[in-house]
Amino acid sequence: MTEPLITVKNVSKKFSFRKGLRTTEFYALKNIDLEIPKSSIIGLVGESGSGKTTLGKITLALLKPTEGEVLYEGKDVFNLTRKKEYRRLLQYIPQDPYASLNPFKTVKQLLIEPLLYHKLAGDKREAMEMVHELMINVGLTPPERYMNLYSPQLSGGERQRINIARALIIKPTYVVADEPTTMLDASLKSGIMTTLRDLVTETNISLAFITHEMSLMQFFGPNFTVAVMYLGKIMEQGTLKDLLSEPLHPYTKALIHAMPVADPKYRSDRGILLKEAPPPSPISKPPGCPLSDRCPFAFDLCSKEEPILKNTSATRKVACHLY
Amino acid sequence: MTNNVLLDIKKLRVDFLGVPTVRDVDFKIFKKETLGIIGESGSGKTTIARAIMRILSEDGTISPDSSAIYYGLGDREVDMFKLSLTEYSRLIRWKETSMVFQSALSSLNPTLRVKDHFVETAKAHGLSNPSKIMERTWELLEAVKLDPDRVLRMFTVELSGGMKQRIVIALSLLLNPKIVILDEPTTALDVLTQRAILDLLKKLHETFKLTYVLITHDIALIADLANRVIVIYAGKIIEEGSVEDIFYNPLHPYTKLLLEAVPKLGEFDRLPKPIPGVSIDYMNLPSGCSFHPRCPYASNICMVKEPSLINIEKNRRVACHIYTGLWKK
C-alpha cells in the first residue's frame, strides 16, 4: 500500500463563542480519521453544521485542529519547513464566485499573479502562454475575449471557471472544492462539473469535493469514495455506488430518501425517515451517537455510547451500533 | 373548460430600459394546479412572476398590449395589468395572489418579532381586527408545523433556515390567496429541510386549495411538485406540457439538453452532458430562434425566422422549426 497524500489522524476541532460572560465550547469535528490517496477523488457530504467545510479547511492547513494531526506525505503539515511550497501544492476552490475574486483586477492579473509569486514561469511571456492554455482548458474561449475583463463583468459560471483556473494554474497536488456550484444554475452546474472532472482526472490531482447534493457527485463516476458526515462525525464511508444502492447508516438512508429525483415517476409523499427533532446543531448534541435523538432505530446503547467507524467490507465503513 | 381557468395571461411583454426581456408570453393558470416554470437564470421566469405581482422595479415596464384576466373574483373579470397600483393592492395583492420570494431567508426584518411580521402584513392589506389577525396567524403557524406559542415572540434571527422558510410560507397565506407563486422555494436549504418544506407545500396545497406557480431552475424540484410545466428561454415560452410530457417526451432541443444536463440519482450509465454555448445576452439576441447558436439541430431557417409557439395537441405547445414543417436537415 502506498502512502496516502493526506492523512487525517484522530482530528477534533473545538470552536467557542461567547454570549455575555459565558463561553460555550463545542466540537465541530470529533475524532475524524480520513485518508486521501494520491490522484483520487473523495466526496464529503453533509448538511450545514456537519463539519464538512471545517474538515476541508483542516486538510488544507488553514485551520489548526484542537487535537490530532494532519500529515502530507507523512509529514505534519503544521511543522513544515517549506511552507510556501506547501501552500502552492494545496489549493482551494471557493463556494461563492461573486465574493471570491478581486473586482479591481483583470482576469489576466488574477491568473498571472499566482504564477509569478510561486516563480513557476520564467518571465511574463511564458506565464501568458500558460494562462492562455489553461483558460482554453477551463472553457474560457477565446481567452483574448476575457483577458482584460474585470470579474464583475463576468457571469457566475465564468467567474467559477476563473476560480478553478486559479486553483489549478500553479499545479497543485491536492484541491478542496467547497460546494463550487451551489450558486449556479442547473445547466451551468453540469458544465463546471464536467470541466472540473476532466481537469482533475487528466492532471492526477487529488480532489476533496464538499457538497450537500449527492447527485452532483455522479459526475465523478460510481467508484470513488464518499464520506457522509453528521454533526462532526463521519457516519458512513463507501463508494458512491454502494452508498446510493445500499445505504447502511440510518442517516445516509434518510438523506438519499429525501433527495428530489429528476423524474416524476419517483414522486410520492416521501417524508423523512428520521424522527422529528429540533434541527441538528453542533452546540447541543445528544449524548452517545449524535443521531440518537432522531434515529428511528435507536436503542439504549445509542444514547450511552458513541459508535466508532468500523469496516464492514474493504471499501465500506459505518459508525452505527446496528452493525 | 374556461371555468377552470384562474388566470389567463396574454401577450405579456416586459421591457427593461427598452430591452425586451419577456416577449409575447401567453399561458393560462388553471385552478388548483401546480404550474412549474423552468428556465436558466436570466431567462425571465422571475420577471414573469414579478409582473403578475406588479412589483417590477422602476426600470421595467409591462407593455400596454399585455393582459392578465383574473377569474377568481366571482362574476367579475379583471385585467390585473389594467388596474391602477392602488386598486391592484386593494383587490389582488396578497388577497388573491401572493409570493414566496427567492431569498426567503433574508426577506424577514431582523428588528421585528415574528408576530409583528404577521400583524404588519395584515394591517398593510386593510385587516385591522387584532383578534382576527391573531386567530389566522395561529392557524397558519400550526399548519406550517411551528409552535405558535414559542415562535411568535422570537426575532427572526433566532430562527433556523427551515423555520424562516416556514414563516415566509405562512405569511404568504395570511390573506387566504388563491394563487401562490413560489420562486425557488428551497434553494439554500439542506436536503432534509428541503424535503420537509416540499412535503409541507404539498399538504398546504390540499388543505387550502391553493394554485401554485413554481419558478425554479431545478429540474428535480419540478419533477417532484409540478403537474404542468412551461419551459422558457430568452424570455419566451419554448415548450409547454404536462410534467410527464416534458420528462418522457420532450420536444424542444433545449428541453432535451436540459434534461440530459442533470444527473439522475443512482443512474451511472449515462453521464450528464453540459449544454453547449453561452447563456442569454439580451443586448445581442441572436436572429431567428434565440436558441439556434446552441442548438445541435439548427438549420438555415432557424437563423432567419423565429419559430412561433404552435399547438401540438391540447395544452401541449412547442416553439421550434422541427415542428413547424419549415426545418430541413
A245 to chain B: closest CA residue: B266
User: Does residue B120 register a pLDDT over 70?
Assistant: yes
B20 with B166, same domain: the answer is no
Is A282 within a domain?
Answer: no
Considering only CB atoms, B262 lies closest to which of A190, A254, A271, namely: A190
Tell me how far CA of residue A99 lies from CA of A103, A156, A228, A231, in angstroms: 9, 10, 28, 27
SS3 assignment, position B188: coil
Is A9 within a domain?
Answer: no
User: Does residue B325 register a pLDDT over 60?
Assistant: yes
B211: its cell numbers = 394554485
B117 with B88, same domain: the answer is no
Instruction: ipTM value, please give it.
Output: 0.85
Q: Residue A200, Cα to own-chain centre: how many angstroms?
A: 14
What digits encode the pLDDT tens for the residues B46-95? 999 999 999 998 889 999 999 999 999 888 899 999 999 999 988 999 99
Which parts of chain B are beta strand (E)? 5-16, 19-30, 34-38, 60-62, 67-73, 76-79, 97-100, 179-183, 211-216, 228-233, 236-242, 310-313, 316-318
Give pLDDT, residue B2: 53
Helix (H) or strand (E) holding B115: helix B114-124
B230: its cell numbers = 412551461
- What whole-number percentage of chain B has pLDDT above 90? 67
- Strand B179-183 and strand B97-100: the pairing is parallel
Q: What is the pLDDT along chain A (323 residues), one digit of tens a residue?
A: 467 899 999 999 999 888 788 888 888 998 999 999 998 999 999 888 888 999 999 999 899 999 999 999 888 888 877 788 888 899 999 888 888 899 999 999 999 999 988 888 888 889 999 999 888 888 887 888 889 999 888 888 888 889 999 999 989 999 999 988 877 777 778 888 988 998 888 888 999 999 988 888 889 988 899 999 999 999 999 999 999 999 999 999 999 988 888 888 887 666 788 887 777 777 888 888 999 888 999 888 998 888 999 999 888 999 999 98
B43 with B128, same domain: the answer is no
Is A197 within a domain?
Answer: yes
**Minimal C-alpha gap between A256 and chain B (Å):** 9
A302: its cell numbers = 445509542
Is A195 within a domain?
Answer: yes
**Minimal C-alpha gap between B130 and chain A (Å):** 31
B166 with B232, same domain: the answer is no
Is B299 within a domain?
Answer: no
Is B306 within a domain?
Answer: no
* A256 interaction partners in chain B (CB closer than 8 Å): 265
Cβ atoms of B156 and B189 closer than 8 Å: no
Distance between CA atoms of residues A192 and A188, nearest Å: 6
Chain A interface mutation, best of B146, B189, B192, highest count of A Cβ atoms under 10 Å: B192
B191 with B75, same domain: the answer is yes
Tell me, what DSSP letter sits at residue B240?
Answer: E
Distance between CA atoms of residues A36 and A34, nearest Å: 7
Is B301 within a domain?
Answer: no
Is B17 within a domain?
Answer: yes
From the list B305, B314, B316, the residue with the least C-alpha distance to B325 is: B305
**Minimal C-alpha gap between A319 and chain B (Å):** 20
Residue with cell 401540438: B312
B72 with B171, same domain: the answer is no
**Minimal C-alpha gap between B328 and chain A (Å):** 28
Distance between CA atoms of residues B137 and B221, nearest Å: 28
User: Does residue B117 register a pLDDT over 90?
Assistant: yes
Is A131 within a domain?
Answer: yes
Tell me, what DSSP letter sits at residue A279?
Answer: P
Is B290 within a domain?
Answer: no
Distance between CA atoms of residues A307 and A289, nearest Å: 6
Distance between CA atoms of residues B145 and B149, nearest Å: 12
Chain B interface mutation, best of A50, A96, A218, highest count of B Cβ atoms under 10 Å: A218
Cβ-based interface (< 8 Å): residues of A facing B: 47-48, 155-157, 185-191, 193-194, 212-216, 218-219, 221-222, 241, 244-245, 254-256, 258-264, 266-267, 269-272, 274, 279
Q: Is B273 close to A190, i.e. CB distance below 8 A? A: yes
CATH of the domain at B256: 3.40.50.300
Q: CB atoms < 10 A from the CB of B63, how many?
A: 15
From the list B158, B166, B146, B156, the residue with the least C-alpha distance to B106 is: B156
A214: its cell numbers = 449527492
Tell me, what DSSP letter sits at residue B113?
Answer: B
pTM of the predicted protein model: 0.89
Tell me how far CA of residue A294 lies from CA of A228, A254, A276, A299, in angstroms: 16, 11, 6, 11
SS3 assignment, position B218: coil
Tell me how far CA of residue A231 lies from CA of A45, B35, B157, B194, in angstroms: 12, 37, 22, 18
Distance between CA atoms of residues A110 and A125, nearest Å: 15
Distance between CA atoms of residues A142 and A258, nearest Å: 42
Peptide bond into A142 cis (omega under 30): yes
Give the list of residues 6+ apart from residue B46 with CB closer than 8 angstroms, or none.
Answer: B102, B183, B215
CATH of the domain at A149: 3.40.50.300
Helix (H) or strand (E) holding A243: helix A240-245
Classify each residue of A124-135 as buried b or exposed e, where b means 16 or more C-beta atoms within 10 Å of its C-beta. Answer: eeebbebbbebb
Is A20 within a domain?
Answer: no
What digits encode the pLDDT tens for the residues B198-241? 999 999 999 999 999 999 988 989 999 999 999 999 999 999 99
Q: Is A218 close to B263, i.e. CB distance below 8 A? A: yes
> Where in the sequence is the domain holding A108, given as residue range(s)?
83-91+99-175+183-203
B197 to chain A: closest CA residue: A271
**pLDDT range class, residue B326, cuts 50, 70, 90:** confident
Give pLDDT, residue A141: 78
Which pairs count as long-range contacts for A17-24, CB under 8 Å and 24+ apart, including other chains? Answer: A24/A283
B187 with B88, same domain: the answer is yes
Distance between CA atoms of residues A158 and A164, nearest Å: 10
Q: How many domains is chain A partitioned into structurally?
A: 1
Give the list of residues 6+ apart from residue A145 with CB closer than 8 angstroms, or none.
Answer: none
* A254 interaction partners in chain B (CB closer than 8 Å): 192
Cβ atoms of B40 and B90 closer than 8 Å: no
Q: Is B217 close to A155, i.e. CB distance below 8 A? A: no
B25 with B132, same domain: the answer is no
- The pLDDT of B262-275, averaged and rounded, is 82
B275 to chain A: closest CA residue: A187
B16 with B165, same domain: the answer is no
A242 to chain B: closest CA residue: B266
Q: Is A260 close to B221, i.e. CB distance below 8 A? A: yes
B23 with B61, same domain: the answer is yes
B201 to chain A: closest CA residue: A269
Cβ atoms of A262 and B220 closer than 8 Å: yes
What digits encode the pLDDT tens for the residues B4-43? 899 999 999 999 988 999 999 999 999 999 999 999 888 8
Domain final position from B225, B240, B263: B263
Is B295 within a domain?
Answer: no
Is B46 within a domain?
Answer: yes
SS3 assignment, position A232: coil
SS3 assignment, position B7: strand
Helix (H) or strand (E) holding A208: strand A206-211
Q: How many domains is chain B partitioned into structurally?
A: 2
* A193 interaction partners in chain B (CB closer than 8 Å): 272, 274
Chain B interface mutation, best of A45, A159, A187, highest count of B Cβ atoms under 10 Å: A187
Distance between CA atoms of residues B140 and B144, nearest Å: 6
Distance between CA atoms of residues A24 and A32, nearest Å: 22
Give pLDDT, residue B1: 47
B124 with B154, same domain: the answer is yes
Distance between CA atoms of residues A31 and A10, nearest Å: 4
> Where in the sequence is the domain holding B135, given as residue range(s)?
108-175
Is B40 within a domain?
Answer: yes
DSSP string, A148-206: T-BGGGS-HHHHHHHHHHHHHTT--SEEEEESTTTTS-HHHHHHHHHHHHHHHHHHT-E
A289: its cell numbers = 451517537
Instruction: Find the distance separating the first CA and the last CA of chain A, reported in whole Å.
Output: 27
Residues β-bridged to residue A317 = A237, A311
Cβ atoms of B118 and B193 closer than 8 Å: no
B151 with B221, same domain: the answer is no
